A and B are shown apart, each in its own frame.
Chain A
Amino acid sequence: MNAVLELAGVHTHIGAYHILHGVDLAVPEGQVTVLLGRNGAGKTTTLRTVMGLYAASRGSIAFRGEAIHGQPTPEIAQRGIAYVPETMGIFTDLTVQENMVLAARAARHAGELDRARLDWVFGLFPALRKFWLYPAGKLSGGQKQMLAVARAIIEPRALILIDEPSKGLAPSIIQNLIGALRELKAQQTTILLVEQNFQMARALGDTVAVMDDGRVVHRGAMAELAEDEALQQRLLGLSLGAHQ
Chain B
Amino acid sequence: MNTTVIAPAARQAGEAIPKSSFDFKPVLLLAAVMLLSVPAVLGAGGSASSWLTLTVAGIAMGLIIFVIASGLTLIFGLMDVLNFGHGVFIALGAFMATSVMGYGAGAGWHGFVSVFAAMLVAMLVAGAVGWAFERVIVRPVYGLHLKQILITMGGMIVGEEIIKVIWGPLQIALPLPDELRGAWLVGEAAIEKYRVLAAAIGLVVFAALVFTLNRTKIGLLIRAGVQDRSMVEALGYRIRRLFVGVFVAGSALAGLGGVLWGLYQQSVTPQIGAQVNVLIFIVIIIGGLGSTFGCFVGALMVGLMANYTGFVAPKVALFSNIALMVAILLWRPQGLYPVTNR
Contacts and interface: CB of A to CB of B under 8 A. Distances in A.
Interface in A70-91: 72-74, 77-78, 83, 85, 89, 91
Contacts of B234: 51, 53, 73, 77, 83, 85, 89
Contacts of B233: 72-74, 77
Contacts of A73: 230, 233-234
Contact of A138 (B20, B217, B230): B20
B22 to A, nearest CB: 11
Given A73-B230, A89-B228, A102 B235 contact: yes
B236 A74 contact: yes
Interface in A103-144: 103, 105, 107-109, 130-131, 133-135, 137-139
A2 interface: no
B223 A94 contact: yes
Given A103-B235, A105-B236, A151-B235, A135 B20 contact: yes
A91 B20 contact: no
A73 B232 CA distance: 10
A92 interface: yes
A93 interface: yes
A105 to B, nearest CB: 5
A101 interface: yes
Contact of B17 (A102, A109, A134): A134
A98 interface: yes
A108 B20 contact: no
Contacts of B230: 53, 73, 89
A74 B238 CA distance: 6
Nearest to B19: A134
Interface residues of A, number: 32
B217 A139 contact: no
B220 A93 contact: no
Interface string B151-165: 000000000000000
A105 B233 CA distance: 12
A102 B340 contact: no
A95 B20 CA distance: 9
A102 B227 contact: no
A101 B220 contact: yes
A93 B14 contact: no
A91 B231 contact: yes
B188 to A, nearest CB: 46
A216 to B, nearest CB: 23
B221 interface: yes
Interface in B203-257: 216-217, 220-221, 223-224, 227-228, 230-239
Interface of B: 14-15, 17-20, 216-217, 220-221, 223-224, 227-228, 230-239, 339-341
Interface of A: 51, 53, 72-74, 77-78, 83, 85, 89, 91-95, 98, 101-103, 105, 107-109, 130-131, 133-135, 137-139, 151
7 contacts: A53-B230, A91-B231, A92-B340, A95-B20, A102-B224, A108-B217, A138-B19
Q: Which 9 A-B pairs have the closest CB atoms?
A: A77-B236, A89-B231, A73-B233, A135-B20, A78-B236, A74-B238, A91-B224, A83-B234, A138-B17
Given A51-B234, A93-B341, A134-B17, 4 more contacts: A53-B234, A101-B220, A130-B14, A139-B17
